[in-house]
Amino acid sequence: MARALNQALRDAMSADASVHVLGEDVGALGGVFRVTDGLAAEFGEDRCTDTPLAEAGILGTAVGMAMYGLRPVVEMQFDAFAYPAFEQVVSHVAKMRNRTRGALPLPLVVRMPYGGGIGGVEHHSDSSEAYYMATPGLHVVTPATVADAYGLLRAAIASDDPVVFLEPKRLYWSKDAWDPEEPDAVPPIGRAVVRRPGRDATLLTYGPSLPVCMAAAEEAVRADGWDLEVVDLRSLVPFDDETVCASVRRTGRAVVVHESSGFGGPGAEIAARVTERCFHHLAAPVLRVTGFDVPYPPPLLEHHHLPGAERVLDAVARLQWEQG
């Protein structure tokens, strides 16, 4: 996935001279996760720029660049490092196009490694997607596969609306058959994808929880005979109600799975949307499997905090099968 993201940035910068990359350590080092490796050497420091350790300044600079016709791609080194820049996101990035009645779009991408599972400490493992989902004016996107990492990042950079691009850091080294010379076509921003068809219940997930749900679906067949459908949301804003609801109406049951906390988390909105649109098709309440409602724990405890296949199957077992 890291290579696919790197290729997406390289191809976008080659195709359009207005695309600039900036952030902490993105130049000489190539980024903490090496996603920007080689870009400064190839395109020069003016287009792949190391910045001071000042997130509000980085994003504020990018706002100005976008206002003057450039397409900046900002890297926030870790998810929780972005909080000092949150005021810029809410007050300027999300509102500029609306404030100017459409005259001044902000074609700006904020790349953000997010989520846990790598043994990182607090401020290095947050799942902060709910903050951005609750901010009108932003697109919020998160890939879970190598092909989506490339395709969605290219689409984000091409968008005239600002995109918060959440990269699941524990999937950076995930591998798949993928040809950078002939990348697969990827559905556009705003479209979910059925990764595994099924008939008994739907697992709704995204980003780092997709492999967890795929593993749970395979185990469900072996252990209990449940045939679970897995839907990869890919885009949290805009949200693909059509694909999600079509799946839930077919299966009649749904579980939402994500690392972010449960209370006020993304799953709450997703469950509400599914319930409103699919109520008469549901054989059981929509359930959630999430991170716990606590600050991210120390590395030795994170495996308790993160949703695993066992917790997903426990939720599936509570879907009132006796009434089916």
Going from the C-alpha of 286 to that of each of 38, 46, 129, 216, 267, the distances in angstroms are 46, 50, 20, 17, 10
Which tokens sit at 144? 């879970």
What is the pLDDT of the chain when averaged over all its residues? 95
Q: What percent of the chain has pLDDT over 70?
A: 99
Q: What is the pLDDT of residue 125?
A: 94
Which tokens sit at 151? 């395709």
Q: What is the pLDDT of residue 224?
A: 87
What are the backbone dihedrals phi and psi of residue 110, each rounded to the nearest 5 degrees, phi first? -110, 105
Average pLDDT over residues 88-96: 96
DSSP states of 302-313 as a string? HHHHS--HHHHH
| pLDDT tens, residue by residue, 193-240 | 999 999 999 999 999 999 999 999 999 999 889 999 999 999 999 999
Beta bridge partner(s), residue 114: 168
Q: What is the pLDDT of residue 185?
A: 80
Average pLDDT over residues 163-170: 97
| pLDDT tens, residue by residue, 110-145 | 999 999 999 998 889 999 999 999 999 999 999 999
109-114 β-sheet, strand order: 48-50, 19-23, 71-75, 109-114, 163-168, 139-141, 235-237
Q: What percent of the chain has pLDDT over 90?
A: 93
Q: What is the pLDDT of residue 121?
A: 82
Enumerate the active-site residues. 124
For 230, the 3-state DSSP assignment is: strand
Say if residue 184's pLDDT is above 80.
no
Say if residue 187's pLDDT is above 90.
no
Q: What is the pLDDT of residue 323?
A: 58
Question: What is the pLDDT confidence band of residue 25, given thresholds at 50, 70 and 90?
Answer: very high
What are the backbone dihedrals phi and psi of residue 48, each rounded to the nearest 5 degrees, phi first? -130, 95
Say if residue 296's pLDDT is above 60.
yes
Beta bridge partner(s), residue 232: 193, 205
Say if residue 266's pLDDT is above 90.
yes
Say if residue 324's pLDDT is above 70.
no
Question: What is the pLDDT confidence band of residue 186, given thresholds at 50, 70 and 90?
Answer: confident
